[in-house]
Amino acid sequence: MNKKNLTDMPEWKALEAHYEKVKELHMRDMFASDSERAARFSIKAEGIYFDYSKHRINEETMRLLIALAKASGLQEAIEDMFSGKKINNTENRAVLHTALRAPKDAAVNVDGVNVIPEVHAVLDKMEKFANKIREGSWKGFTGHPIKNIVNIGIGGSDLGPVMAYEALKDYSRRDLTFRFVSNIDSTDFFEAVEGLNPEETLFIVASKTFTTLETMTNAKTAREWCLNALKDEKAIAFHFAALSTNAKAVSDFGIDTANMFAFWDWVGGRYSMESAIGLSTMIAIGPDNFKKLLEGFRSIDNHYRTAPFEKNIPVIMALLGIWYADFYGAQGMAVLPYEQYLKRFPAYLQQLTMESNGKGVTRDGRKVNYETGAIYFGEPGTNGQHSFYQLIHQGTKLIPCDFIGFAKPLHAIGRHHDLLMANVFAQAEALAFGKTKEQLEAENEKPDLIPHKTFEGNRPSSVFLLEKLTPETLGKIVALYEHCVHAQGIIWQLDSFDQWGVQLGKILAGKIAPELENKEIPELRHDSSTNSLIAEYRRMRK
């Protein structure tokens, strides 16, 4: 572990000095003076063309950033993760989502046991189950085949499955209905089962811990909904499956552990979409496509592990994020997929990135004196352009953007796809080069409108261009961000794999809930604001 404070490292200091020299450089001039810039700052690997030339960097910047990564022990840290070392310090756990997509003949040991056979045993069990549902041979309690699959989970037990289902809808069985319940808001459950026949509905209760309040509350409601219609406890075994690390809690809940698909404490919730948590995905797209998804992940795992940092896409992504967060003071990061099927990808990424690197102390508990994880947000293109891009183009904040686009559409209709992709390239171009006062004057723009129509440019973006959205390319894209998060966490010296920040609110909600429900509680002992809110709520509920 690197004990030296990040900002005391000579590599950091070199970057600080370098920043002072280059901070005013404009991409317009950097492109004008270097006809090879696009080739210099782009990587072709694993079927991805990654163009990072429209960034406020030069060769020296990248050399210094890579020196920082090396001095931070990133190469060793990558090996530590892949080989099953307990790198999640605060929970004393290995971090092995990469083992979930490792081939059958791989060997990764945790506490002296090779976990790969277990991983593949669960994948095989999932495959059998998914095939039964898809073939209609898994029958509900009254003998009807299952037509509706409702995944109940939250956080990593929801966002990955929803994102993957939406992303791969074109590969999914259209005659099956997939719904997802996450929120404890009863509306979510109400709408998820609206119009469904309980006799044809399978609930998948997805929870690593099987204790999460939202999921357990929704699962109990689902149980009642099912029993109301089917009137027999025995029905539960036909209509419920569980995805969890906690066999005891699953069986206490009344779900037959034969219908339980296991995973392990070394799979973080936000890194679990290709574990048993992906059962709904496998039912939707089929086991063969699920295997292709895993292959996509695996190809980027190999790339991250073996490519030199200069040619390593997740490492470069991570370094660019650090360059803007810590030297330019950027707070945000926009992820902009130009593919409607990726509409839930930004939401998925929010948990992956912000729950991982939204930390203010180092692995050994020191308060950081530098910026860490950015605020991720995004919308599919071109919708975002007609919403928040104004701020990115002309606002006072620097927001680096990741554009994700595909050469081939999944539905070729008229000019749509070329128009869509023209917008990707145009946006990246506009952000980088802007529009000057001189250009506007040459166009005879009205003088009083010139300040409003001027685009400063010099706003950074990367473009990821892939051939087509497939299960495999989805796996690649997700793995790129997973590894970017890891690399940033190492350099920022964070534990990217715990999430203590979610605890306090859960504990306080546990105290407040009975105060809302029980009219007899005489005195509220919170601050005056919370007391008043509770009192007003109780008054309005009467």
- Binding footprint of ligand F6P on the chain (CB under 6 A): 154-157, 207-209, 212, 215, 269-270, 355, 499, 502
| CB-count burial class (<10 Å; 0-12, 13-18, 19+) for 365 | exposed
Alpha-carbon distance values, 260 to 119, 120, 162, 279 (Å): 14, 15, 20, 11
Q: Which is nearer to ligand F6P, 212 or 340 (CB)?
A: 212
How many angstroms separate the CA atoms of 299 and 98, rounded? 11
CA distance between the termini of the chain = 57
Q: Which is nearer to ligand F6P, 140 or 156 (CB)?
A: 156
Instruction: For residue 529, count other CB atoms closer than 10 A to its CB.
Output: 8
Q: Least distance from C-beta 185 to ligand F6P, angstroms?
A: 16
Q: Which two tokens stand for residue 108?
A: 């990764």
Q: Least distance from C-beta 211 to ligand F6P, angstroms?
A: 7
Q: Which is nearer to ligand F6P, 211 or 257 (CB)?
A: 211
Q: Least distance from C-beta 349 to ligand F6P, angstroms?
A: 14
Alpha-carbon distance values, 459 to 23, 294, 356, 376 (Å): 12, 35, 26, 17
Q: Which two tokens stand for residue 204?
A: 């998948």
Q: Which is nearer to ligand F6P, 201 or 499 (CB)?
A: 499
Tell me the angle at which helices 503-517 and 528-541 cross, rounded to the nearest 10 degrees. 40
How many angstroms separate the CA atoms of 240 and 201, rounded? 9
Q: Which of 231, 234, 386, 411 is catalytic?
A: 386
Are 333 and 516 spatial neighbours (Cβ–Cβ below 8 Å)? no
Q: Which is nearer to ligand F6P, 2 or 212 (CB)?
A: 212
Q: Least distance from C-beta 174 to ligand F6P, angstroms?
A: 28
How many angstroms separate the CA atoms of 403 and 335, rounded? 6
Q: Which of 355, 379, 482, 515 is catalytic?
A: 355
Q: Which of 248, 506, 511, 517 is catalytic?
A: 506
Q: Which is nearer to ligand F6P, 164 or 432 (CB)?
A: 164
Positive/negative CA dihedral, 163, 168, 170, 172:
negative
Q: Which is nearer to ligand F6P, 155 or 460 (CB)?
A: 155
Q: Least distance from C-beta 370 to ligand F6P, angstroms?
A: 25
Q: Least distance from C-beta 208 to ligand F6P, angstroms?
A: 4
Q: Least distance from C-beta 210 to ligand F6P, angstroms?
A: 7
Are 161 and 215 spatial neighbours (Cβ–Cβ below 8 Å)? no
How many angstroms separate the CA atoms of 385 and 423, rounded? 9
Q: Is 343 a catalytic residue?
A: no
Q: Which two tokens stand for residue 509?
A: 């909600």
How many angstroms separate the CA atoms of 167 and 284, rounded? 11
Residue type, 391: L
How many angstroms separate the CA atoms of 280 and 65, rounded? 40
| Catalytically active residues, by annotation | 355, 386, 506
